[in-house]
Structure 1
């Protein structure tokens, strides 16, 4: 029995190799993000799942863990700083036009 008849897929052309976009952005695990924000990993998991006052932490499930990009972490911090400022001053969010 020849190789081609035994393994018909051996004669197919290989699929193109997909490469990840080159980026220098730092990626955090839940543990690293927790240390960075001085919170517990459980709290970070809650922010990913449910958000905080409607502001969720965007993360990607890769392999067996959550991965958080530095830009998403900074956006979450900035959004919560604005939310905390509005809460201290007793004002609400401005109406969107």
Structure 2
């Protein structure tokens, strides 16, 4: 993550992990990408994408969206307990 006091910069890297990978066999244990932050009522809602590590009959890979929430732009971001909050159509089954 990088941050600035203005959209014009100067942008500074935070040099820390904002949203850690999930534990082994969790839906977001391999990759986290495409963050989309929203600010509402002084909280930051950071939607992010990860792969479910499942493929359909056509070998199509399925993505899901997670949500992490923080009180400040530098976090800590706490993953929502109902993650993934949105999927691309695959029936979700716990991998435990």
Q: TM-score, normalised by structure 1?
A: 0.29
Determine which structure has the larger helix proportion and give its number: 1
Determine which structure has the larger strand proportion and give its number: 2
Give the greater-gyration-radius structure (CA): 1
